[in-house]
Amino acid sequence: MELKQMRYFLALAEELNFGRAAERLHIAQPPLTRSIRALEEELGTQLFIRTTKGAELTEAGRALLEEVPNILALSRRAEEQTQLAGNGFTGRLDVGIFSSGILNVIPRLLADFHTERPAVKIGLHNMSKAEQIAALRERRITIGFNRLVPDETDIAVDWVQRESFLIALYEGHPLCRKKAITLRDLDDEPMILYPNAPVHGLAQEVAAAFRAEGVRLRVEQEVEDVVTCIALVASRFGVCVTTQSAVNLRLPGVVYRPLRSTQLREIELSCLYRRDDSSPILQAFLKLIRASRAKGGRARQAAG
């Protein structure tokens, strides 16, 4: 049975008149008659008894009428769900995140995406940079967020947000009296670096900047994430170079000052995804990211 035949059958079963059923279906009566006859031949049983007034359902016809509305409803649902999935309104978005990345723009992006597409299930996975790249290749995540992402032929990278560098100090530190801090001010100062990872990241950028500006870097602690780093600053283990988003931690006993450096000016938060991924959900999320980036750029211009 074809869906068209079932629609024709349902119209006739409800109208019990070929003329009215054809009018309801916006077709001529002969095609309706042929379709019903073909359906009866296919099923090997009579569905209607033709009368002078129109038609009456047979027992077989009444049995079919019990099922056809459900079949047509399922067909409509399948069509709707297919269209929603094809346009990225249903499905799943698996996102690779890292510790300091959840302090600012990423939660806002995910919240906006959830508002736009509530039927898309969002999965969050805390991963290092190397783990995100591996997970993308293995299709365990759809998109990742990180900084200082290396060039990979199969991985696309786009920037999401640019942040300024700050120095996190503990309350009472002599440098708290300054409005801005240079790397020269940090010469031989106990420093806490993060992340402690084998791939190039913020810790390596800081070390390179100290070398470039001829400043001694005294590493007191190396930790894995920004939360631990700022907590150690609050506990007076040392000071650290961090980014604007760390302020959102709001840990007591920590004071932030802008960093003035020729080497460390801004750092990009990037998104990374497979170049060959054309899924509607990913494309919709990338569109949201770019719109957010453009909005942020306009806001900075207005502030300037």
- 3-state secondary structure labels for all residues of 24-74: HHCCCHHHHHHHHHHHHHHHCCCCEEECCCCEEECHHHHHHHHHHHHHHHH
Give me the domains of the chain, ranges plus CATH numbers.
3-86 (1.10.10.10), 90-304 (3.40.190.290)
pLDDT at 128 over 70: yes
pLDDT at 301 over 80: no
pLDDT at 302 over 70: no
pLDDT at 196: 83
pTM to 2 decimals? 0.72
Q: How far apart are CA 158 and CA 274, in angstroms?
A: 12
Tell me which residue has tokens 């006993």.
Answer: 253
Q: How far apart are CA 180 and CA 80, in angstroms?
A: 57
Q: How far apart are CA 193 and CA 73, in angstroms?
A: 60
* Average pLDDT for 208-234: 95
Q: How far apart are CA 215 and CA 284, in angstroms?
A: 46
Note whether 137 and 154 are within 8 A (CB). yes
Q: Which of 262, 206, 272 is nearest to 239 (CA)?
A: 206
pLDDT at 6 over 70: yes
In percent, the amount of the chain with pLDDT more than 70 equals 97
Helix (H, G, I), strand (E, B) or coil at 183: coil
| Amino acid occupying residue 208 | A
pLDDT at 212: 95
Query: For the segment 32-85, what is each residue's pLDDT rounded down to a tens digit?
Result: 999 999 999 999 999 999 988 889 999 999 999 999 999 998 888 888 878 878
pLDDT at 199: 79
Q: Is 213 exposed, middle or buried (0-12, 13-18, 19+ CB in 10 A)?
A: middle
Q: What's the mean per-residue pLDDT of the chain?
A: 92
pLDDT at 300 over 70: no
Confidence tier at 131 by pLDDT (50, 70, 90): very high
* Average pLDDT for 18-34: 94
Query: For the segment 170-180, what is each residue's pLDDT rounded down to a tens digit?
Result: 999 999 999 99
Give the residue, 2 or 93, on which the prediction is more confident.
93
pLDDT at 298: 55
Helix (H, G, I), strand (E, B) or coil at 16: coil
